[in-house]
Chain A
Amino acid sequence: MSRLLVSVLTVLCAAPAAAQPSRPARPLENIKVLSGWTSAEVRDEMRRMADAIGVKCDHCHVQGNFASDEKRAKHTARRMLQLTISLNTEYFPMHVPSAGDSKLGRITCYTCHQGAATPKLGTGAGEVAR
């Protein structure tokens, strides 16, 4: 019985420790658009962005120096985040993202990109009509 109690206590004590990250996350530097977001929120959004655009981190970031603004794609990404945030603020202010959804709002990177670096333009309906 005492063995069982010890096991249960061990599991209970170990569970919160296991949920913690192994090392504390470093604060993020050079955040210009997603300012006010927690580091965890920014990291989560970065993963979503990579998936939505079908790229890896190094598409926008210099490997080993994520804070660097050297890559042009990072500037484009910032501009596109501004676009998305302004759209959501102006046109979808009532949308509250569910748990696990992007914090950006109703319009996300995926809405337009859908896994591709360049979003689609149209169906070519004009050509059909001519």
Chain B
Amino acid sequence: MTSRPWRHALGAMALSSALAVALARPAAAQVPEPTKPGIAESPTITVLTGLMVPQFEIEMRHFVQALGMNCGGCHARGNFASDENPRKATARRMIEMTLNLNQKFFPGYTPAEGETSLGRVTCYTCHQGAAQPKSAPVPPGR
């Protein structure tokens, strides 16, 4: 069996990288980095903060289905970060409302896998597929 020096070199590199990562962690915890890898961050992400990118995208899909809209319902076409569409401000307010409501009235609820991370009350709870939630049953014949 021939020796493979490049393997040793690779091993040493991997070890030093691992050490560098391990040593860098406490430093990163002390001085918070402005951008955390994997977290959905943007100057216009102001309410749904701290979510990993895939979870953030799942939340957006939950909104779309719950309100029976598409992305363009709240987002400017071609610039998802833009706050130009006034519905985006409404959506933020409603997310704040839902988060507050869950924190105050359903603090013990832990969402199951695949459920929205918002909590017991979700967009769908009130909207049920419609942009305007109902206040009362629709009278028969309408």
Q: Does A66 lie at the interface of the complex (its beta carbon under 8 Å from any beta carbon of B)?
A: no
Q: Does A24 lie at the interface of the complex (its beta carbon under 8 Å from any beta carbon of B)?
A: no
| List of B residues within 8 angstroms of A122 by Cβ | 62, 66, 115-116, 122, 124-125
Q: Does A130 lie at the interface of the complex (its beta carbon under 8 Å from any beta carbon of B)?
A: yes
Contact B58 A125 (CB under 8 A): yes
Q: How many residues of B contact A (CB 8 A)?
A: 29
Q: Does B105 lie at the interface of the complex (its beta carbon under 8 Å from any beta carbon of A)?
A: yes
Q: Does A29 lie at the interface of the complex (its beta carbon under 8 Å from any beta carbon of B)?
A: no
Contact B122 A110 (CB under 8 A): no
Measured CB to CB, the nearest residue on chain A to B137 is A110
Contact with B along A117-130 (1 / 0, CB 8 A): 00111111111111
Q: Does B72 lie at the interface of the complex (its beta carbon under 8 Å from any beta carbon of A)?
A: no
Which B residues lie at the A interface, using CB under 8 A?
57-58, 61-62, 64-66, 93, 97, 101, 104-105, 113-116, 120-122, 124-126, 128-129, 133-137
Could you list 19 examples of A-B contacts with CB < 8 Å?
Answer: A79-B105, A83-B101, A90-B97, A91-B93, A102-B135, A110-B136, A111-B133, A114-B128, A115-B137, A119-B125, A121-B115, A122-B122, A122-B125, A125-B58, A125-B65, A125-B66, A126-B113, A126-B114, A126-B115
